[in-house]
């Protein structure tokens, strides 16, 4: 739900669009069976090449090199997660409005955040801020199950319908305030937050397993994108980028917990 400054390009050789498509097809995720049902004016085949071009021209230069993340970005049909009036713009590397004062994040930033979690395919993931469900779908391509929380009920319902229609059955959506996380399902190997609190929510830190990672924007107006790793001794924090997300609402606006 934001945009960011571009990261430095990776030094590895560029991946060509057709190579990305071959990788995507070779490792088909749950979305592939449904893609032919796109009701839009463009066929999904033509949009596949738009996704491949997006990967080559924007996502790889932003510093994303994980082949699993690149393949997921080449597979997930972003045009299905934006309002119909913006479908033609779906493969621009830009945030787009999705209603209710929210936006769908630019694809290069989605990929950068997901890559930062270092997902290997076995992790239990919590997403705070489902939004349109686009980033949820990318995560669902990579791990066995995604738990995701959305405070805006109409967005949560729309995302659930679309994710189900596209075949992502390894997603559980909850309507509610994500500040406290999901106690019943904790702990998690990875947590990703798509709206910006002005401080790191303490409950989310406690939801991480030792060795687990959380990425989230922190700050007002312009934020630091923080990667937090839980260790046996505590938490390590790394500033990944400067970003601009919509603010986290609900309990996050009340300030950090008092000791």
Write out the two tokens for 195: 């709206």
* The dihedral formed by the CA atoms of 54, 11, 191 and 250, expressed in degrees to the nearest 10: -60
Contact in structure between 77 and 71 (CB atoms under 8 Å): no
What strands, in cross-sheet order, belong to the sheet with 208-218? 2-4, 235-245, 223-230, 208-218, 188-193, 124-128, 145-150, 171-175
How far, in Å, CA of 60 to CA of 43, rounded? 25
Helices (H), 27-145: 44-54, 67-75, 107-116, 134-140
How far, in Å, CA of 131 to CA of 172, rounded? 14
| Paired residues of 245 in beta bridges | 2
Q: Tell me which of 31, 62, 105, 132 is the catalytic residue.
A: 105
Write out the two tokens for 110: 């989605």
How far, in Å, CA of 20 to CA of 74, rounded? 7
Exposure string for 9-48, b = 16+ CB within 10 A, e = fewer: eeeeeebebebbbebbeeeebbbbebbeebeeeeebeebb
Catalytic (active site) residue 46: no
**What Rg value do the Cα atoms of the chain yield, rounded?**
17
| Active centre residues (catalytic) | 105
């Amino acid at each position: 739900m934001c945009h960011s400054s571009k990261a430095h390009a990776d030094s590895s050789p560029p991946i060509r669009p057709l190579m990305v498509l071959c990788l995507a097809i070779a490792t088909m995720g749950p979305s592939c069976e449904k893609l032919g049902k796109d009701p839009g004016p463009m066929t999904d085949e033509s949009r596949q090449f738009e996704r491949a071009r997006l990967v080559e021209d924007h996502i790889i230069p932003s510093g994303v090199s994980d082949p699993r993340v690149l393949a997921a970005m080449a597979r997930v049909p972003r045009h299905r997660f934006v309002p119909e009036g913006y479908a033609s713009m779906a493969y621009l590397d830009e945030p787009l409005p999705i209603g209710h004062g929210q936006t769908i994040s630019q694809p290069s930033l989605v990929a950068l955040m997901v890559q930062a979690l270092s997902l290997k395919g076995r992790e239990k993931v919590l997403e705070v801020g489902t939004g349109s469900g686009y980033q949820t779908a990318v995560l669902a391509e990579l791990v066995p199950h995604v738990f995701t929380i959305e405070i805006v009920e109409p967005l949560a319902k729309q995302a659930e319908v679309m994710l189900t229609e596209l075949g992502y059955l390894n997603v559980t959506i909850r309507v509610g305030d994500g500040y406290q996380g999901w106690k019943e399902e904790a702990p998690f190997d990875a947590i990703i937050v798509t709206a910006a609190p002005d401080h790191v929510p303490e409950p989310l830190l406690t939801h991480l397993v030792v060795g687990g990672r959380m990425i989230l924007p922190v700050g007002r107006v312009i934020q630091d994108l923080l990667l937090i790793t839980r260790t046996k001794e505590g938490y390590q924090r790394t500033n990944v980028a400067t970003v601009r997300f919509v603010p986290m609402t609900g309990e996050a606006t009340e300030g950090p917990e008092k000791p």
